[in-house]
């Protein structure tokens, strides 16, 4: 079971939760996580599929093929703008 941390407005898409527990099969990749989240939370899944939300694994930007493990720190980061 992986724990997914959500930040900012993403929490509103999952009934205000800041952490989701998501079951992952052995050998799961980010794309599998996205499919699972899309099935459970379609608005969040749409943002992930449109790549408007960044997936971070162990504090590094992840790609669709990034492997996931139960002990990984996984976070979903909403769009953000930077300073001057």
Residue 81: pLDDT band by 50, 70, 90 thresholds?
low
In a domain, 82, yes or no: no
Measured CA to CA in angstroms, residue 62 lies from 8, 12, 15, 16, 17 at distances of 19, 23, 25, 24, 22
pLDDT score recorded for residue 59: 95
Instruction: Answer whether residue 84 shows pLDDT above 70.
Output: no
Tell me the residue range of the domain where 27 lies: 2-77
Task: Evaluate whether 2 touches 70 at the Cβ level (below 8 Å).
Answer: yes
Task: Evaluate whether 2 touches 33 at the Cβ level (below 8 Å).
Answer: yes
Instruction: Answer whether residue 80 shows pLDDT above 90.
Output: no
Tally of domains in the chain: 1
pLDDT score recorded for residue 71: 87
The predicted-structure confidence for 10-69, as pLDDT tens digits, reads as follows 999 999 999 999 988 999 999 999 999 999 999 999 999 998 999 999 999 999 999 998
- What CATH number does the domain containing 17 carry? 3.10.20.30
pLDDT score recorded for residue 35: 95
């Amino acid at each position: 079971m992986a724990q997914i941390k959500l930040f900012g407005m993403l929490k509103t898409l999952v009934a205000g939760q800041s952490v989701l527990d998501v079951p992952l099969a052995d050998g799961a990749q980010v794309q599998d996580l996205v499919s699972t989240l899309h099935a459970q939370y379609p608005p969040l899944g749409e943002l992930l599929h449109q790549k408007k939300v960044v997936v971070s694994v162990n504090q590094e930007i992840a790609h669709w093929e990034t492997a996931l493990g139960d002990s990984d720190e996984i976070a979903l980061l909403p769009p953000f703008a930077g300073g001057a």
